Structure 1
Amino acid sequence: MNAPDQAPRTPGSVLAVHVDDVPTTEIGPGILLRELPGPAPFTFWVVDFAPGSRWPGVDVHETVGEGYFVAEGEVIEGDLRHGPGTYVLLEQGSSHRPRSETGARVFGYNHPAG
């Protein structure tokens, strides 16, 4: 994926984007997704959780794994609370339904199985 208004990347190029300038997609009430540029086959993203928001359904990782870093706020996964500086890894076959009482910003990626 190329960042908005950016030329295609070439070998040796450098690309910098300001995360807040990347267009958003609403995943559910109070949850915004920003897709970031990065090398295939990985996908990179930022998710912002508004206070009191919950992922709209169970996120199942049948064919990919996922990792994310909590940059701000707190993400709750079941009985576990992940605050700033926490890295969470979800392997292929895992599922979760994150939520946040305080609001949060997480930086993450999805990777193919294997």
Structure 2
Amino acid sequence: MSEVRVFSNDELQAMPIDDVPAIEIGEGCSRRDLPSNPGVRVWVVDMAPGAQWPYYDHHDTGESFYVISGEVIEGEARYGAGTYVAFAPDSRHRPRTESGVRLIGLNVSTSAFLAAGGSPDSITHSFHPTQG
């Protein structure tokens, strides 16, 4: 594992994404957690050709991602490079890919979601065992 090269001062941080350590999520699926502002989670996902996320992903406050390269498949829909995808609060999805994909995703914490005017009713859910 290489050391992360970070440029940082009081106003910004910059780093090559590939220098951020990858976390193996499942076969052919990895995630790199990036620094961000309080209440916002940002990550990069890489999926090898033929990979499927190992469980149904669920986010109380929703999730958004932008496809950087390759193609991701959600259900029967295919999203190629340059596509932005947004999921509503309390939705579930299980991405897969035939070609391989790199995407950058984000979501907000429950407290940030509520502070921005999100409805508490939209994040009420029950745990599902396939969430992993």
TM tier, smaller: 0.7 to 0.9
Question: Of 16, 23, 26, which aligns to 2:24?
Answer: 26
User: Which has more helix, going by share of residues?
Assistant: 2
Which whole-Å CA distance do the structure 1 matches of 2:7 and 2:81 have between them?
34
CA RMSD of aligned residues (A): 1.9
The offset of 1:90, in angstroms, is 0.7
Structure 1 runs of 4+ aligned residues shifted over 4 Å read: 4-9
User: Which has more strand, going by share of residues?
Assistant: 1
Higher Cα radius of gyration: 2
Q: TM-score, normalised by structure 2?
A: 0.76
Number of equivalenced pairs: 109
Contact 2:7-2:14 at 8 Å conserved across structures: no
Structure 1 stretches lacking a partner, 5+ long: none
User: Which letter does structure 2 place at the counterpart of 1:37?
Assistant: P
Structure 2 stretches lacking a partner, 5+ long: 119-132
Find the counterpart in structure 1 of residue 99 from structure 2.
102
Find the counterpart in structure 1 of residue 69 from structure 2.
72
Question: Of 79, 88, 91, which aligns to 1:91?
Answer: 88
Q: What percentage of aligned pairs have identical amino acids?
A: 45
